[in-house]
Amino acid sequence: MTIQTAVAAYLLFLQLVLLSTIYAFAPTPSKNIIIASCVSSKTISSAQSQMLPIRTVSKTMVRSVSSHIPASGEAVTKLAQQLIRIPSITPDDNGCQNVIRQRLEPLGFQCETMQYQDVTNLWCLRQSPLHSAPTVAYLGHTDVVPVGPPSSWTLPPFGGQIHDQNMLLYGRGAVDMKGGIASFVVGLERFLQDHDSLPYSLAVLLTSDEEGDAKYGTRVVFEELQKRGITIDMAIIGEPSSLHQVGDVVKVGRRGSLGGTLSIIGVQGHVAYSHLARNPIHESLGALKDLVDERWDDGTTDFPPTSFQISNIQSGTGALNVIPGFKTVQFNFRYSPAVTDTELKRRVHGILDKHGLQYTLEWGETTVPFESAPGGELVEQAMASVSDVMGYSSRPCTSGGTSDGRFVAATFPHAQIVELGHRNETIHKIDECVSLKDLKDLSLIYKRLLDRLRIVEERKQDGQEYTDHHVSVAALP
C-alpha cells in the first residue's frame, strides 16, 4: 500500500466517523436527508439499495401535509381544506361563499349575495360579449348535514386533515359538496387562464339551503333571475354522482317526488267494547296494502317504474286497552315521467274511497321529474370529458334522490342538465372523505368540459348545427 492510498483511506475513515456522529444526533428528517444524499450509489450494493427506501419511509411516517399533495392538485386540495374547516351546518353558510367570491371576482365575475331569511346564496356571472351567447352555470351548495358524534370520526369533522396512509381528505362536506366546489373553481381558474373571450357566459350559483328545506335557496334565486330576464341554458351540478370511480356515472335526470300525510279518522273506545268504537288501524290495512301493491307505471327507457313507500305510521294512546281514534301515515312517491303527479293523486284517492275510509289527505310539495334531451351537447361533452381525462367511459343515469336540478328544470324547461361530481360512498356518513387524486381528476374533467363546450359553441356560432359534434382531443389545449 502506498502512502497516498493510506492517507486516502484514513481520510475516508474520518468522514465516515463524522457522518456517523451527525447521524446519531440529528433529528429524524435530517437523518433521511443524510442517508439519501450523502452515500454514494457506487458504494451501495443492489440489496442495500432496495432496502434504503424502506428505511427512509419508516423514519418519515409523520410528514407535512404539503408534501402529500401533487403539485398539480395542491390548489384544489388547499381550497377544499379551507372550505371544510368552516362549519356550515345547514342553513348556515358561515363565510364559505365569501371564500369563493374572492376567487371568482378577479376572474371577471360579477358576484352578488342574495340573502333570504337565514339562507345565504351567491350568484356570480361572467357575461359573454356575444349577445346571443348561452349561459353555462355551475350549481353547488355550501351547507352540510350535522356531523353526528365528533368522537366517532377518525379525524375531526371540521379539521380538513389528510390521513397519512390512505391519502384521503376527511371532513363533513369533503364529498357533499365542498370538495366538488373546490374542484370546479380550480378547474375554472385554469380554464380562464387559457381563454379570455368565450362564446358563452359563465355563472356560478351557491346556496346554503340544499341539505335543509330548500325553500330560500336555488328556487328563489331562479325566481329573481327570471325577473331580470336571465336564463340558464346548461347547468352543471356538482352533486356526488359517481359510484366506483370519478365520472363513471353522469346523472342526466331525476325522478319526481310527491309526498303525502294521510290521517285516518276512527272512534276511540275501550277494547272490551269494540262495537262502540271504530279502529282506524284495522280499517286502513286493506287500503294501505292496495297502495303498496299497486303498479303505478312501467317506467320509461331511462327511468325505473314509480315506487310508493310508507315512511311513518303513528297511532294509539300508548295504553293496551284503548282503541285509537286516529292513524297518521306518511308516504312518498318517486315517480317517472310515465305518470303525472295529478294522476297519482287521483288514483290514491280512488283506492282510499274504495275502502270507505273517513280520512284527510294533505299533499306535500311536488317535484317534477326531468331528463336532459338525448343527444344534447352538455351530456355528450361531459361524458367525453371523463373519457379524455380518466381513460374510461361513463354512463348516463337517472337514479338517486332529488337535487337542485329540479329547480333548473322547473324554471328553465329547455335547459340541459348534468350532475357530475365525486364518488358518493361516504356522503352524510361518519368519516366522510375524498381522495386527493379524485379532487385533482374532477378538476381536470371540469376544465376539459368547459374546453369542449367552448369548441362546440364556436362551431355553432360559425353556422354549424350541433349534431353530435366530435371534438378532437387534438383541438383541445
Residue 124's DSSP bridge partners are: 111, 204
- Look up residue 403 and give its amino acid: S
Q: Per the structure block, which three cell numbers stand in for 101?
A: 367570491
Annotation marks residue 441 as catalytic: no
Question: What is the spatial distance between Cα 424 and Cα 240, in angstroms, rounded to a whole number?
Answer: 5
Residues 6+ apart with CB under 8 A from 226: 411
Can you name the residues that pair with 257 across neighbouring β-strands?
334, 367
Please give the Cα distance from 223 to 232 (Å, whole number): 12
- Taking CA atoms, 385 is separated from 246, 247, 382, 420, 471, in Å, by 12, 9, 5, 11, 10
- DSSP code at position 304: P
> Could you tell me if 288 and 294 are in contact, meaning their C-beta atoms sit under 8 angstroms apart?
no
Specify burial of residue 449 (Cβ count, 10 A radius: 0-12, 13-18, 19+).
buried
Question: Of the residues 143, 209, 283, 388, which is catalytic?
Answer: 143
Q: 210 an active-site residue?
A: yes
C-alpha span between 468 and 375 (Å, rounded): 7
Q: 296, 362, 301, 290: which is closest to 334 by C-alpha?
A: 296
Residue of 296, 381, 302 whose CA lies nearest to 340: 296
Q: Which of 210, 283, 380, 404 is catalytic?
A: 210
Catalytic positions, please? Answer: 143, 210
